Amino acid sequence: MAKSSHDLAMLSELILNPRAREKLPEDGYLSFSKSTFEGLNIGFVDPEIWRWPETLQPQHGDSLEELRAGYTEARDLVTRYQAKAVYPVSLPPVADFVLDGQPCTIMAIRHVFKRNVDSYLESLTTSEVRTLEDIIQYNKDHSGQELPRAFPEQGRLIDTLENPIDQEMYERAMKQCRTVAQDRGVDKVMKENNLDLIAFPMDSPCPRVAAAAGYPIATVPLGTLSYNGRPFGLAIVAQAGREDLLFTFMSAWEACAKPRAVPSSL
């Protein structure tokens, strides 16, 4: 969304509704900027547990070692600049988010997906595509441009349309998400370890935990992989309403960490 915490602070204020904006200090999110991590208690998950399996994210050369090294360096950095790091902290496994054989987050998304897509498309002034059905048909009619050869199907879109999640199932899915991610997850870990934030590799399923909890998440750059120059990062999650802690962390990261490596042009 932005290349600096300053830009992100300004952008975040713009997208808040007036009532939420009134709750911010006079200088908005910028008032939470700091040059060190002093006062922050940060939990770090075990990257050996929280990483994608080889089937979903094949590793090349030394890429796995580089991801591990970047994560370890992040933990060392925050402690060097006055944060307290707790390692490792444990979150519920991905399997706990499965309900009736499906991820509860996907079930929740499927319930609201068509309604939200249709609402957005209806707001457009020039597009002839107005519904999810229109998108599916447009993709069929223009498959050469819209459907990649490697993935020519629209299975997830069609399944969402033909097998909708009803309100009762949606409520069960949301309860599962919140119970596992909040009560047994982020809230429990933070209370037990007196934490402000939890950090984890972006190359992992951990962002799903933040999404299931409905909690704010931010990312900062860690490095780039040698084999192809792909950037990788560190994610941090806070509890509801604590975006101030995210801006404190991001601004301190900019002040203390080495400048991000800018990817080369293609």
| Residue-level pLDDT, tens digit, the chain, 266 residues | 899 999 999 999 999 999 999 999 999 999 999 999 999 999 999 999 999 888 888 888 899 999 999 999 999 999 999 999 999 999 999 999 999 999 999 999 999 999 999 999 999 999 999 999 999 999 999 999 999 888 889 999 999 999 999 999 999 999 999 999 999 999 999 999 999 999 999 999 999 999 999 999 999 999 999 988 899 999 999 999 999 999 999 999 999 999 988 777 76
pLDDT for the residue numbered 54: 86
Residues facing 102 on adjacent strands:
99
Specify the DSSP class assigned to residue 181: I
Residue 64 included in any domain = yes
Residue 213 and residue 186 in contact, taking contact as beta carbons nearer than 8 Å:
yes
Residue 152 included in any domain = yes
Specify the DSSP class assigned to residue 207: H
Work out how many domains the chain is built from and give that number. 2
Residue 127 included in any domain = yes
Are 69 and 190 in a shared domain?
Answer: yes
Whose CA is closest to 56, among 108, 94, 107, 88?
94
Are 251 and 186 in a shared domain?
Answer: yes
pLDDT for the residue numbered 1: 81
Are 178 and 247 in a shared domain?
Answer: yes
**Paired tokens of 148:** 């990649």
Are 26 and 72 in a shared domain?
Answer: yes
Question: Where is the domain boundary, 111, 146, 170?
Answer: 170
Whose CA is closest to 212, among 175, 238, 167?
175
167-178 vs 104-122: helix crossing angle, rounded to 10: 120
Cα gap 4→223, rounded to integer Å: 16
Are 17 and 133 in a shared domain?
Answer: no
Residue 99 C-alpha from the chain's centroid: 21
**Paired tokens of 59:** 């590793």
Are 190 and 229 in a shared domain?
Answer: yes
pLDDT for the residue numbered 178: 98
3-state class of 16 per DSSP?
Answer: coil
Residue 9 and residue 30 in contact, taking contact as beta carbons nearer than 8 Å:
yes
Cα gap 154→151, rounded to integer Å: 8
Cα gap 15→212, rounded to integer Å: 22
Question: Where is the domain boundary, 119, 136, 170?
Answer: 170
Residue 97 and residue 104 in contact, taking contact as beta carbons nearer than 8 Å:
yes
Are 124 and 242 in a shared domain?
Answer: no
pLDDT for the residue numbered 146: 93
Are 50 and 154 in a shared domain?
Answer: no
For 42, residues 6+ apart whose C-beta sits below 8 A from its C-beta are: 78, 83, 84, 85, 86, 195, 196, 197, 198, 199, 236, 249
3-state class of 227 per DSSP?
Answer: coil
105: domain range? 98-170
3-state class of 223 per DSSP?
Answer: strand
Question: Where is the domain boundary, 114, 142, 170?
Answer: 170
Are 154 and 34 in a shared domain?
Answer: no
3-state class of 198 per DSSP?
Answer: strand
**Phi, psi (deg, nearest 5) at residue 151:** -135, 75
For 71, residues 6+ apart whose C-beta sits below 8 A from its C-beta are: 44, 47, 201, 222, 234
Query: Which of left, alpha, beta for 229 (phi over 0: left; psi -120 to 50: alpha)?
Result: left
Are 90 and 9 in a shared domain?
Answer: yes
